[in-house]
Amino acid sequence: MFQFIMKLNMLITGGTGMVGQSIKKMQENIPFNCYFLGSKDCDLTNYEETKKLFSKIKPDYVIHLAACVGGLYKNMNNKVEMFEKNILINTHVLKCCYEFNVKKCVCCLSTCIFPDKITYPIDETMLHNGPPHDSNDAYAYAKRMLEKHCEFYNNNFNTNFVCVIPTNIYGTHDNYNLEDSHVIPGLIHKCYLAKLSKEKFVVKGTGKPLRQFIYSNDLAKLILWVASSYKSKESIILSVGEKEEVSIKEVAIIIAKIYDYEENIEFDTKFSDGQYKKTASNKKLIENIGEFEFTPIQVGVQESIQWFISNYNNCRK
Ligand code: NAP
Ligand code: GFB
68 in contact with ligand 1, CB cutoff 6 A: yes
Over residues 29-45, mean pLDDT: 96
Closest atom of ligand 2 to CA, residue 70: 30
- Closest atom of ligand 1 to 111 CA is 43
As a whole number of angstroms, the distance between CA 167 and CA 245 comes to 11
- Given this model, what pLDDT does residue 20 score? 98
Q: Among the bound ligands, name the one nearest to the CA of residue 141.
A: 2
Query: How would residue 2 be classed by pLDDT, with cut points 50, 70 and 90?
Result: low
Task: Write down the pLDDT at residue 6.
Answer: 81
How much of the chain exceeds pLDDT 70, in percent?
99
Q: Are 301 and 188 in contact (CB under 8 A)?
A: yes
Interacting residues of 303 by C-beta distance below 8 A, sequence separation 6+: 171, 172
Residues 246-282 have pLDDT tens digits of 999 999 999 999 999 999 999 999 999 999 999 999 9
Whether the pLDDT of residue 141 is over 90: the answer is yes
Banded pLDDT at 122 (limits 50, 70, 90): very high
Residue 69 has pLDDT above 70, yes or no: yes
212 CA distance to ligand 1 centroid (A)?
A: 19
In this prediction, residue 1 carries a pLDDT of 64
| pLDDT over threshold 70, residue 3 | no
Relative to the CA of 174, which ligand 1 atom is closest? 2
C-beta separation of 58 from 35 below 8 A? no
Residues 262, 305 contacting (CB under 8 angstroms) = no
pLDDT tens, residue by residue, 220-241: 999 999 999 999 999 999 999 9
Residues in contact with ligand 2 by the CB-under-6-Å rule are: 71-73, 75, 110, 112, 136, 139, 168, 181-183, 186-187, 190, 203-205, 209, 211, 248, 271, 273-275
139 tagged catalytic:
yes
| Res. 289: pLDDT tops 70 | yes
Contacts of 257-261 with C-beta under 8 Å, sequence gap 24+, read: 258/301, 258/302, 258/305, 259/191, 259/192, 259/195, 259/305, 260/195, 261/191, 261/194, 261/195, 261/201
The residue annotated as part of the active site, out of 61, 139, 141, 230, is 139
Of the ligands numbered here, which is closest to the C-alpha atom of 14?
A: 1
Question: How many angstroms separate the CA atoms of 223 and 27, rounded?
Answer: 13
| pLDDT classification of 5: cutoffs 50, 70, 90 | confident
Distance from the CA of 235 to the center of ligand 2, in angstroms? 24
- Average pLDDT value for the chain: 97
Domains by residue range for the chain, with CATH:
8-310 (3.40.50.720)
Q: What is the pLDDT of residue 93?
A: 99
Mean pLDDT in residue range 288-299: 97
CA R_g for the chain: 19
Query: Mutate which of 39, 48, 173, 223 to test ligand 1's pocket (most atoms within 8 Å of Cβ)?
Result: 39
29, amino acid identity: N
What is the per-residue pLDDT for 95? 98
By alpha-carbon position, which residue is closest to atom 6 of ligand 1? Answer: 14
Q: Helix and strand tally (H, E) in the chain?
A: 10, 12
pLDDT per position as a tens digit, 81-104: 999 999 999 999 999 999 999 999
Q: What is the mean pLDDT of residues 296-309?
A: 98
pTM of the model: 0.97
Q: Which ligand neighbours the alpha carbon of 171 most closely?
A: 1
